[in-house]
Structure 1
Amino acid sequence: MHLKTVKFFLKKAVFVTSLFSFLFVNTACEPPQETEISSAPQPSASASPVFVPEIGSPGGIRVVGNTALPNTFNPYLASESSSLAVIYRMFSGLTRLNAATRQIEPDLAESWQESPDHREYTFRLRPGLKWSDGMPLTAADVLFTYEQVINNPGIPNNYRDFWSYQGAFPQLEQLDSLTVRIRLKQPFAPALYNLAAPLVPRHIFQAAVKPDSQGQVVFNHMWGLTSKPTEIVVNGPWQLARYLPGQRVELRPNPHYYEHDAKGQPLPYLKQLVFLDVQDSNTALLKFREGETDTYDLRPEDYELLNPEQAQGKFTIHNLGASPSSLFVMLNQSTALKADGKPLVDPVKSAWFRNLKFRQALSHTLDKQGLIDSVYKGRAAVQTTHLNSHNPYFNPNIPDYGYDPGKARQLLKEAGFKWSDQGVLFDAQGHRVEFELSTNISSPQRDATCALLRREWQKLGIKVNYRPRLLNALINQIHQTLDWEVILMGFAGSSFEPHFSSSRWKRDGRMHLFNLGHPAHWKGQRPTQYEPWEAEMEKLYTEAAVLMAPEERKKLYWKAQELEREHLPFLYTVSELSLLAVRNHLGNIYPTIFGGSGLNQINWNSQYHFLKSE
């Protein structure tokens, strides 16, 4: 059998840039900067894909402002941005996504071979890899991570959902201490993306992945916020040095991290990377203007204030175009009954939320242009689908429902709703239409968006009880208690691979949030009910994942976006421009939309950041 071999050389003290076209930038090849901010996203959101790192000087501290600190340091329990922003810096997988070249490349793997039928991958680990505690990192850790953690039904994680579209979990075989063979049931286009999943240490977790006498999996309670830094064993460039609740997370270089620069200096260059808890956006702005933090993710209204200060403040504002994240309204359509027989959602309300004409009516009340003009100061774009405009599979032909309150009233009338003489909206059974709207407290834009939504819905005679929550409380309600009604929230999107959104379309997926309660997992008295379109959406994603030709995949993803538009599980609002302010004294900074969301667009190559000499 002939194999296609992909190999990247990163020797002990030699960085081979001619083979890597790697992750970083030198002074002769700075990314293009746009300091004139427009009211619409730019057509291209990445810098030049070819750049090499400048040789940096060891030492120095970077301080990043976060509006929330992590909920966990366990990479398989984290799902929210505050945890992932830190965890992404601490853990590596077999592969990684190069945000500059937009290509998958080896990470902990040195090379891989792919069979012609795309069903077998043989990975060779870099020799001499070690965990941060000095223990060897071997093929046994790869098998353990995939077989005992990712494919463990007792450990909820999105990575297993990604693989579930295969119909069978990959089969792994250890050929020797550095070589792993992975066999797939069928070709799988996102395979190399999925293999970026963080590896975790077998010697730490081996006894913690099976249920105990109480049926609890100890893994799910490890590496929480009370863990000692030395207990958290990592393989990425950074490791935990100190966590101060409500104050900061301090990371220090992992002394056993494998990367070195072209002069043989170990990476990271910085001696410390600090995530400062700034609580809210106003404080984040204040900390940046006072010089306490070195980067800032601008709100649209911040530009007028910060633009004149760039020269004196010695920073540059980068406009990367529309954010890859989505912001939407989601209605809880679950009909599941809890163990005590009580419904997750009031059946009267879930009946409204499951009514397509009700969702269409609410869609016609979204004054997106009004949002763009008033809340986002013209620095946002209308969003119509779960794939962002940078994604190569984005369907630009999806029409927006459009702001039309008259059409909203007509749809409600067609669905059997009616109004009292006082303009109060009732359903056909005489129940007043009333529900709770939630979002997270620390976002002024979301709070302002909710104010606009409440005003429009109240015009329709709907009583809206607004209850913003702390982010951690909101996450608990979404993933644990499941008793929310209507939420304004967002997903971090991928500008590369549509399959990263697949968990929200798998009916038993962890992120199928609008209709949770699958019979395979639900422990209550009755699981939820699914609509035929949900099965069709899952089928489209399943079929698209096994196609290797991009144009064939594109047809299915376009159809999936059309189906989503028709059935409206998410009522999309707008995508704001990604505006990032960066201190000029930071070296090897390469802002790009393809680095992720928010400050990940800067921090994606943090191991190469350094402080320039004044």
Structure 2
Amino acid sequence: MGRFIRWQLLALALTLALLVALLSYGAIRYTTVTIPAPGGRYVEGVAGNPRFLNPLFSQFNELDQDICSLIFSGLVALDEQGKPIPALAERWEVSPDGLLYTFHLRQGVRWHDGVPFTAEDVLFTVKTLASPDFPGLPSLQEVWKNVEASSDDPYTVHFTLKEPFAPFLAYTSIGIIPAHLWSRVPVPLMAQSRFNLEPVGTGPYKLKEMDATHIVLEANPDFYGPKPYLAEVEFRFYPDYESAFEAFKRGEVMGVGRIPYQYAREAASMSGLSLYSGLLAGYTAVLLNLDNPNVPFFKEKEVRQALSYSVDRKAIVGEVLQGYGLEAHSPIWPSSWAYNPKVKHYQYDLKAASELLEEAGWKDSDGDGVRDRDGKKLSFILLAGDSPEDARLAFLLAEGWKKVGVEAIPQVLDYPSLVRDFLYPHNFEAAIVRWELGPDPDPYPMWHSSQKKGGQNFGGYSSPKADALLEEARLTPELALRQELYFKFQELFAEEVPAILLYYPLYLFGVSKEVKGVQSGPMFSPSDRFRTQARWYVNTRRVLVSQAKEEGFYP
């Protein structure tokens, strides 16, 4: 009997011990959380191969911009609205007259090869950009040749402008290059230097290896900013983004740098892929050549307004972009601080279009379906690039304008030829163009009358009122005053319709659901998909809730 009781007591003790263990496990389990952990590699499929891993030349190649955004830093970075935030410069001041900019550099920053970063690197970079022999974008040299750079000490830089230039801060976001390496290379020969494929920067990642098939970047342990979780980022090179998308389906990569619109629906339905989109700084429009004598009717505001009313932008976004875009009604990007949300919208209205043309004397006198006046047909040639999107867009526009008696004759050619052989020499009647906008909303390069010759005002728009607004905005350092001036410019643009605005595109990219922390927002370039890259992660660890709160991961 006593032995039986002892066995019962032993069983009870074991049961209690097991219960305590389970309760302890549960307590630990439910008082801990999973948070990101350092390590792991992200592999992305991209199109093409690197050419210039140098921020002074990367504007020519989308992949170069992607890689440079992770390797190099500028004096400032830009937030989603294009406003400057500290990067290599901790802070800066602007003189009341807008002529003197003083930047205070971070101390303790090192190049990837261990050499300290100083004002000497900034002065060298700016001197290179200002050189008449600079082999990069002429627009960069045009800005920096009017800037005098100086330094008091290794961590202070002064820029003195010849006249106020409000967009200047945005230009200081360009990546700084190391003087101790590049000073050996003459400026005219920089585009041929081996350093363009052996980059040394100050950014969150540095070059580990590269060959014809891929490039691997590794985290920079000395980075001055937030340390990224991912230990490595690899880009694998494919002939085009269609091939990169197929590579994802084969399991070769964890992400695709750009998802073509024709694959958007398939990508959105894939269980292992998260499709991200961001409003890209730019717009697609139809430029009208206001100075071409073959199409004198483009000088008539009523004709231009009628053309705008007869464009079904909603249908175009749905068919050409698979719905991944926004209707455009302003030449300023909707995510910009300068965008006027109350600007006039030309909603699809065939009746309004027809009435404007009738009142202007354009009638179909011979019953051929095309309006005419004084023997002149309301007919023009519409140039378009040879991409599937542009070719389809040209057809849809022609079909829409046909409904109000306007004949547009599409002609398709490769986009570089369109720009080189037709836009720059102003040898066109109408053309579909894709404008890429910079971080600063300044529309001067495209719409000021001084830019008709040698600039990008290809349509020949000339308005004294618009010129005055754009000139004053460039000279005004106060953001609120600049915004007011740009609001007025947008209202004037909507009234005069010097071009037919169509849509703002969304940029699409895909990332495996194994990768966490990915966010997307407005983008000035595709490389801005890495704006939050420091928070991307694939590894995790479990910690107590209290520790997670201390590290900022738990509310």
TM-score, length-normalised on structure 2? 0.73
Equivalent residue runs for 1:59-74 within 5 Å: 59-66=40-47, 73=53
TM-fit CA distance, 1:539: 3.2
**Which residue in the other structure is 1:596 paired with?**
524
Give the Cα–Cα distance (whole angstroms) in 1 for the partners of residues 434 and 459 of structure 2.
24
TM-fit CA distance, 1:497: 4.2
**Which residue in the other structure is 1:276 paired with?**
237
**Which residue in the other structure is 1:498 paired with?**
441
TM-fit CA distance, 1:380: 4.2
Task: Give the letter aligned to residue 486 of structure 2.
Answer: Y
Contact 1:295 1:581 in 2 (8 A): yes
Q: Of residues 215, 239, 244 in structure 2, which corresponds to 1:250?
A: 215
TM-fit CA distance, 1:84: 3.3
Equivalent residue runs for 1:159-198 within 5 Å: 159=140, 169-184=146-161, 189-198=166-175
TM-fit CA distance, 1:451: 2.2
Matched residues, percent identical? 21
Task: Give the letter aligned to residue 325 of structure 1.
Answer: G
TM-fit CA distance, 1:423: 3.6
Describe the shift of the 1:432–1:317 C-alpha distance in structure 2 as closer, same or farther (beyond 3 A): closer
**Which residue in the other structure is 1:452 paired with?**
396
TM-fit CA distance, 1:386: 1.9
**Which residue in the other structure is 2:255 paired with?**
295
**Which residue in the other structure is 2:38 paired with?**
56
**Which residue in the other structure is 2:381 paired with?**
435
TM-fit CA distance, 1:373: 4.5
Contact 1:379 1:576 in 2 (8 A): yes
Give the Cα–Cα distance (whole angstroms) in 2 for the partners of residues 472 and 146 of structure 1.
30
Structure of higher CA gyration radius? 2
Give the Cα–Cα distance (whole angstroms) in 2 for the partners of residues 82 and 485 of structure 1.
34
Contact 2:424 2:454 in 1 (8 A): no
Describe the shift of the 1:530–1:109 C-alpha distance in structure 2 as closer, same or farther (beyond 3 A): same
Contact 2:395 2:410 in 1 (8 A): no
Give the Cα–Cα distance (whole angstroms) in 2 for the partners of residues 182 and 415 of structure 1.
56
Describe the shift of the 1:259–1:285 C-alpha distance in structure 2 as closer, same or farther (beyond 3 A): same
**Gap regions ≥5 residues in structure 1:** 1-26, 31-53, 210-216, 336-346, 522-526
Give the Cα–Cα distance (whole angstroms) in 2 for the partners of residues 429 and 580 of structure 1.
51
**Which residue in the other structure is 2:284 paired with?**
327
Contact 1:151 1:160 in 2 (8 A): yes
Task: Give the letter aligned to residue 520 of structure 2.
Answer: P
Matched positions, count: 503
TM-fit CA distance, 1:608: 5.7
Q: Of residues 101, 106, 124 in structure 2, which corresponds to 1:126?
A: 106
**Which residue in the other structure is 2:511 paired with?**
582
Give the Cα–Cα distance (whole angstroms) in 1 for the partners of residues 458 and 336 of structure 2.
32
Matched position secondary structure for 2:270: helix
Give the Cα–Cα distance (whole angstroms) in 2 for the partners of residues 418 and 517 of structure 1.
39
Contact 1:150 1:157 in 2 (8 A): no
TM-fit CA distance, 1:181: 1.7
Cα deviation 1:104-139 (Å, max 9, x = unaligned): 332222444555666533323334555556665432
TM-fit CA distance, 1:398: 1.6
TM-fit CA distance, 1:63: 0.9
Give the Cα–Cα distance (whole angstroms) in 1 for the partners of residues 535 and 481 of structure 2.
38
Contact 2:51 2:196 in 1 (8 A): no
TM-fit CA distance, 1:537: 3.0
Give the Cα–Cα distance (whole angstroms) in 2 for the partners of residues 371 and 528 of structure 1.
24
TM-fit CA distance, 1:196: 1.1
Cα deviation 1:238-270 (Å, max 9, x = unaligned): 4595464xxx663534869744656xxxx6844
Contact 1:62 1:270 in 2 (8 A): no
Give the Cα–Cα distance (whole angstroms) in 1 for the partners of residues 328 and 535 of structure 2.
34
**Which residue in the other structure is 1:338 paired with?**
none
**Which residue in the other structure is 2:72 paired with?**
91
**Gap regions ≥5 residues in structure 2:** 1-31, 542-555
Matched position secondary structure for 1:498: coil
TM-score, length-normalised on structure 1? 0.67
Equivalent residue runs for 1:364-403 within 5 Å: 364-376=309-321, 380-403=325-348
Equivalent residue runs for 1:205-604 within 5 Å: 208-209=186-187, 217-219=188-190, 221-222=191-192, 230=197, 234-236=201-203, 237-239=205-207, 242=210, 244=212, 250-253=215-218, 258-259=223-224, 269-274=230-235, 276-277=237-238, 279-280=240-241, 282-283=242-243, 285-296=245-256, 297=258, 305-310=266-271, 313=272, 315-318=273-276, 323-332=280-289, 347-349=292-294, 351=296, 356-376=301-321, 380-405=325-350, 407-408=352-353, 414=360, 421-423=367-369, 433-441=379-387, 444-458=388-402, 460=405, 462-469=407-414, 486-493=430-437, 497-499=440-442, 501-507=443-449, 515-517=452-454, 532-533=462-463, 535-576=464-505, 580-593=509-522, 595-598=523-526, 600-604=527-531
Structure with more helix by fraction: 2
Give the Cα–Cα distance (whole angstroms) in 2 for the partners of residues 568 and 198 of structure 1.
37
TM-fit CA distance, 1:274: 0.7
Give the Cα–Cα distance (whole angstroms) in 1 for the partners of residues 425 and 219 of structure 2.
37
Give the Cα–Cα distance (whole angstroms) in 1 for the partners of residues 219 and 419 of structure 2.
30
TM-fit CA distance, 1:350: 6.4
Cα deviation 1:352-408 (Å, max 9, x = unaligned): 555544433432331113224444555543220022332232212222223344554
- Alignment root-mean-square deviation, CA: 4.5
